[in-house]
Amino acid sequence: MSDSVRILPLGGLGEIGKNMTVVEHGGRIVVVDAGLMFPTAEMLGIDLVLPDFSYLRERADDIDAIVLTHGHEDHVGALPYVLREVGMPPVIYGGPLTIGLVRSKLEEHKLRHAPLEVLDPGERVTAGPIEIETIHMSHSIPDARAVALHTPLGAVLVTGDYRFDQTPVDGRPADVARLAALGSEGVVCLCGDSTNADRPGVVPSEASVGPALLDVFGRCTGRIIVTCFASNVHRVQQVVDAAAKLDRRVALVGRSMRKNFNIATNLGIANAPDGLLIPPKEIEDFPDHKVIAISTGSQGEPLSALRRMAFNDHRDVELHSGDTVIFAATPIPGNERSVNETIDRIYEIGARVVTAADAPIHVSGHGSREELKLMLNLTRPRHVFPFHGDHKRIHLHAELAEAVGIPAQRIHKGRNGLPLLIDADGARFGDSVGAGMIFVDGVDIGDPDDVALRDRRMLSADGVFIVVATVDSEDGSSVAPPEIIFRGVPFLDVEADGFVGELREVVEDSLAAAAREGVNEPVLLQQDLHDDIAAFVYERLRRRPMVLPVVVEV
């Protein structure tokens, strides 16, 4: 309907990650963000998780623009895959740093001709029947924006990730005045960040981290390795500033760390005094008390620079006793185990570890409960659609909206794939569309079915048996000793010889029984072998490895 607005979240609801929202009006589409999520431990062999954007494939000709709120992977990481599968939209908007990071990412994917444009805060552009405006916000990466999509019903305001930092490092707090003005003009729906809806109060200023880092650095006598997100340019800048005060050289370690700081420097967002930065390979040329390394790997990522340092696998930096490793970030939910493994390994080496639990060296980029209330009170939306959070946080955000006076019937707790339809009569959920997950497995993208992932879990837990049986093509009887191959089977090496001999007898007995019953079809023989072998293995090992019988006829 031309006088209605349809808001379809394809990702970011019921989860933290892969944010992507489709806003429709007058039959035309504006997409806000195209993020990804990193796989959970159960998604064996999966590299990345994308939102299911098959809906956009069907509506590709109706897309007028893609707008990016900021440069974090959970908001822009899926963009190369979307462009490759759906096609290029007329234009992709974002802030200068966001566009710079995205341009670099797209070049790596050999997508060099994407229509990228910088959209300044306050500037309005038309995309079909929708007018797009961005509002400057504070977050843990520069150039964060809220996106206002103006329609005849009012503005749909997608906040992106935000907080209300009154003393940000760059001196540019969120544009509270414009948010309040939008509230006066009329916000038909607020699609708000729910990440910290469970945290009371207000998040401390990012500016408070700089003095804390300087204090910690001042008490270190050896090398310092600071790990944080490569995209947290303000945090990296504060480390650089502290190093300059302490007369230490700084090495940026990790490809994304160097790339992001270089992009930010070229845009005038970051800077380092001449001679302060050194290549990682020159770290050993300086005394330990004269060096700070800023590294990727705060989330324990297997291939990150810090992880490789900890396991003596980095070509330039090897951790040793006397080093201090400072985690200027907290683990994303789900990453706690890998972070703890990295920390434990650092302690084993003899280095010291400092985390946010030990000193105030990290603050969140997402607003806590009082900041979410402030957003609600500034914008005074007619409808509230909590975004960017698991179901618990979405529920808590809804409670906050009701607490500041928004009627419960105008607060909509949704899920991915469930569109919210808004018109002059009110709002209601429409028919659900497909909005699952797309997996990136190596260089391929697709939807590995439950069977494939279940098989991977089984292989990782209990291993595999391959049994090759050679039978007579006439009567199905065994004509050669079966060959037994096993990999990754726990505890089997304790009694391998005796076990394998008994397993061969099980195979021979199974084939003999089938021959007596006149069964000689390979498919049927394989089914019988599978059942008999699996039963024997479970009885002996109390494990259920994958069993793959192969029948060869001669």
193 catalytic per annotation: yes
Tokens of residue 525, six digits: 């023989």
Residue 111 near residue 34, CB atoms below 8 Å:
no
Residue 379 near residue 157, CB atoms below 8 Å:
yes
Within 13 Å, how many C-alpha atoms sit on residue 530's CB side? 14
Distance separating alpha carbons of residues 76 and 428, to the nearest angstrom: 29
> Cα separations (Å) of 194 from 135, 198, 410, 418?
18, 8, 17, 18
What's the one-letter identity of residue 380? R
β-bridge partners, 28? 25
What per-residue string of b and e applies to 305-328 under the rule 16 or more CB within 10 Å gives b? bbbbbbeeebebbbbeeebbbbbb
The sign one gets for the Cα dihedral 181, 185, 191, 197 is: positive
Of the candidates 70, 150, 366, 383, the residue annotated as catalytic is 366
Residue 94 near residue 142, CB atoms below 8 Å:
no
β-bridge partners, 227? 295, 327
136 catalytic per annotation: no
Distance separating alpha carbons of residues 204 and 413, to the nearest angstrom: 29
> Cα separations (Å) of 79 from 32, 65, 320, 535?
11, 13, 40, 48
Q: SS3 of 93, please? A: strand
Cα dihedral 213/216/218/223 (nearest 10): -100
Distance separating alpha carbons of residues 553 and 203, to the nearest angstrom: 71
- Residue 225: how many other CB atoms lie within 10 Å: 28
Residue 20 near residue 422, CB atoms below 8 Å:
no
Closest CA to 416 of 19, 2, 3: 19
Distance separating alpha carbons of residues 457 and 453, to the nearest angstrom: 6
Closest CA to 173 of 205, 215, 147: 205
Residue 321 near residue 350, CB atoms below 8 Å:
yes
**C-alpha angle 66/69/75, rounded to 5°?**
85
Q: What is the DSSP letter of 13?
A: B
DSSP string, 206-236: GGGHHHHHHHHHHT--S-EEEE--TT-HHHH
Pairing of strands 48-51, 28-32: unpaired
Of the candidates 165, 175, 193, 462, the residue annotated as catalytic is 193
Locate all alpha helices (DSSP H) within 250-335, ordered by sequence: 255-266, 305-310
- Residue 166: how many other CB atoms lie within 10 Å: 11
Q: List active site positions.
A: 193, 366
